[in-house]
């Protein structure tokens, strides 16, 4: 992505793709930050799951009493009823626990998404200029979804499984310590294998999520320039680019699945080997008379029961590695600087403001020439000032600094004598109406776009601005008037209509300063002339700073500032500059005149 002056922006350091690091300690803290507000609900769900699991621990003991009753000829009614009640009770409690945990996990995911979106929309413009929107969207959607599994399988179920495992091992120790030793000997060996596998699952998952983010970024690029892709016949190339990222995500996902399969198989193998070992050792002890058959059967039931908690622990550890990989990517966004969260400032509607730049210097990249190199000039309140100069002279950069999208490296910018850095951002931006060069229009209705910067305007104010900006005919022509949907990026509107919408949107804010970056470049001659009159009219109630390449707009400005290579070359009126500055004279006789001739030809047609 290029910086506003056309220079390539520096790549993001913290969010750039590369080798996937292991989850850092900060990821654990961020995970706990998401879990902490709902910790007691998770604890409650975990306790219910623990109770449901512990009811199952009693089942082998009851089964032993059934077997003993067979041998002694006692009644089987009581133990069978007890066993049935335990099964039903355990099932009901476990179902309730599962619902509570899943519901809580969904709530944690919702909180994480809202928190991440709220932070993303407050990121500083330089960071967003360097990032890929598709990758940011992936962090809000795919990565946050993984938190659900972390909160259930990864945390709560894992803790519950530990308690169940401890209880099961305690009962097995009471029944026969020798057989317990045999069981633990096998499980320790298999457990060491699983511990070797878990970090690799996390690493592969992180790489898979990064590839998904890259795929989203590539697809977002193609969709943002959909018509350009089709006009260039580049569908196959863009599809191939998406396919490459998708294949990388697939390979890493398969790698993670393979390591997960190894971990799960190790668990199953450990239980099976333990069963064979216990069966062999236990059979010998039963044959020697040192162990009852019912005790061996009960121990084997506990051994099979042990499969559940161990599987939960393995799944929990796997999900925890997956979740930490996602949290690591979320943490990268959390660590970016954000603008202060100010309360929205009301529309000012007060007198026009004076602006002054004093020795302002700024550069997008330390390795390149500065975009502004000691720029100084003043703009009187209630006047129109034009910025002219060749491409890359720093005109749009000045607008970006006035909006505080970027901060100057040195020098000061003041508004009515107050340093912009001392004015709260919301208050500063409420004073400014900004019409960007590419005049973005958002998906939604025409009315939503017009009132986007001033949602509290009255219908009378809206109708007045619609009429002033020559949009009344458009509103009358649209099937649903102001309620008509304008399509993605306003594609249902022409370029000139989008410019008029952007100008109307800025005027509805009743700004003290109006910034117009080539705001009439796509208008036909008639509408350009009318809007030029509107801009000249509003310059009495607001300060207008315009970037223009049309001579008609420039000559109406009360002051013209000529920029070249990030410096103020000259300033004055049109007549003064034509006679006193060679660059301006060249612009006036080539670029400006060509623009006027094209506009006149367009009007003649």
Task: DSSP for 77-122, please give it.
Answer: HHHHHHHHHHHHHHHHHHHHHHHHHHHHHHHHHHHHHHHHHHHHTT
- The CA distance from 332 to 316, in Å, is 24
**d(Cα 314, Cα 536) in Å, to the nearest integer?**
71
Q: Please confirm, yes or no, whether 518 is among the known catalytic residues.
A: yes
Counting other chains too, the contacts that 365-372 makes at CB distance below 8 Å and 24 or more residues apart are 365/3, 365/7, 365/8, 365/9, 365/10, 368/7, 369/565, 369/566, 370/409, 370/566, 371/3, 371/5, 371/7, 371/397, 371/566, 372/397, 372/398, 372/401, 372/408, 372/566, 372/567
Q: What angle do CA 429, 431, 437 make, to 5 degrees?
A: 65
Give CA–CA dist 198/323, Å, rounded.
Answer: 12
Angle at 304 between CA 173 and CA 92, to 5 degrees: 100
Nearest partner of 160 among 316, 302, 36, 318, judged by Cα: 316
User: Of the residues 59, 238, 315, 518, which is catalytic?
Assistant: 518
Task: Determine phi and psi for 2, rounding to 5 degrees.
Answer: -90, 150
Say how far apart CA 129 and CA 145 lie, in whole Å.
26
Q: For residue 415, list its beta bridge partners.
A: 355, 418
Listing DSSP states for 246-313 in one string gives HHHHHHHHHHHHHHHHHHHHHHHHHHHHHHHHHHHHHHHHHHHTSS-HHHHHHHHHHHHHTHHHHHHH
> Mind telling me the catalytic residues?
518
């Amino acid at each position: 992505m290029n910086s506003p002056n056309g220079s390539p922006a520096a790549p993001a350091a913290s969010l750039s793709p590369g080798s996937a690091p292991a989850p850092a300690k900060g990821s654990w803290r961020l995970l706990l930050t998401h879990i902490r507000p709902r910790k007691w609900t998770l604890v409650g769900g975990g306790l219910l799951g623990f109770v449901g699991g512990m009811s199952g621990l009693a089942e082998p003991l009851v089964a032993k009493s059934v077997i003993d009753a067979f041998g002694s000829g006692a009644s089987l009614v009581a133990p069978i009823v007890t066993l049935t009640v335990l099964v039903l009770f355990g099932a009901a409690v476990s179902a309730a626990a599962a619902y509570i945990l899943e519901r809580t996990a969904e709530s944690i995911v919702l909180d994480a998404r809202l928190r991440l979106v709220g932070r993303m929309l407050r990121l500083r413009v330089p960071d967003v200029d360097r990032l890929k929107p598709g990758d940011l969207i992936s962090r809000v959607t795919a990565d946050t979804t993984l938190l659900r599994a972390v909160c259930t399988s990864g945390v709560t179920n894992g803790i519950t499984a530990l308690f169940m495992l401890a209880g099961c091992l305690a009962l097995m120790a009471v029944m026969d310590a020798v057989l317990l030793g045999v069981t633990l000997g096998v499980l320790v060996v298999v457990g060491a294998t699983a511990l070797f596998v878990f970090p690799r699952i996390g690493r592969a998952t992180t790489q898979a999520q990064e590839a998904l983010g890259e795929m989203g970024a590539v697809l977002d690029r193609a969709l943002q320039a959909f018509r350009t892709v089709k006009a260039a016949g580049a569908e196959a190339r863009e599809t191939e680019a998406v396919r490459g990222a998708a294949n990388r995500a697939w390979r890493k996902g398969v790698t993670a699945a393979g390591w997960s399969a190894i971990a799960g198989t190790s668990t199953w193998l450990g239980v099976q080997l333990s069963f064979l070992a216990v069966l062999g050792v236990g059979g010998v002890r039963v044959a020697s008379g040192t162990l009852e058959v019912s005790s061996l059967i009960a121990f084997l039931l506990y051994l099979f029961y042990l499969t559940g908690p161990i599987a939960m622990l393995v799944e929990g550890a796997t999900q925890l590695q997956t979740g930490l990989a996602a949290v690591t990517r979320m943490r990268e966004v959390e660590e970016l600087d954000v603008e202060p969260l100010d309360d929205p400032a009301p529309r000012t509607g007060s007198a026009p403001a004076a602006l002054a730049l004093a020795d302002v210097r700024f550069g997008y990249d330390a390795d390149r020439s500065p975009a502004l190199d000691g720029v100084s000039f003043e703009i009187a309140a209630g006047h129109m000032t034009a910025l002219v100069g060749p491409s890359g002279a720093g005109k749009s950069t000045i607008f970006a600094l006035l909006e505080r999208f970027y901060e100057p490296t040195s020098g000061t910018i003041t508004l009515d004598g107050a340093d912009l850095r001392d004015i709260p951002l919301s208050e500063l931006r409420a004073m400014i109406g900004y019409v960007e060069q590419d005049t973005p229009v958002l998906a939604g209705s025409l009315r939503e776009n017009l009132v986007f910067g001033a949602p509290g305007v009255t219908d009378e104010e809206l109708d007045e601005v619609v009429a002033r900006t020559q949009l009344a005919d458009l509103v009358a022509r649209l099937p649903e008037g102001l309620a008509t949907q304008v399509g993605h990026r306003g594609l249902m509107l022409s370029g000139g209509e989008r410019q008029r919408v952007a100008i109307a949107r800025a005027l509805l804010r009743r700004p003290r300063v109006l910034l117009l970056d080539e705001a009439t470049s796509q208008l036909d001659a008639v509408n350009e002339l009318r809007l030029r009159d509107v801009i000249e009219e509003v310059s009495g109630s607001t300060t207008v700073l315009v970037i223009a390449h049309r001579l008609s707009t420039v000559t109406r400005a009360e002051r013209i500032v000529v920029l070249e290579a990030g410096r103020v070359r000259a300033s004055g009126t049109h007549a003064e500059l034509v006679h006193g500055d060679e660059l301006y004279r060249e612009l006036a006789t080539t670029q400006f005149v060509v623009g006027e001739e094209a506009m006149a030809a367009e009007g003649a047609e």
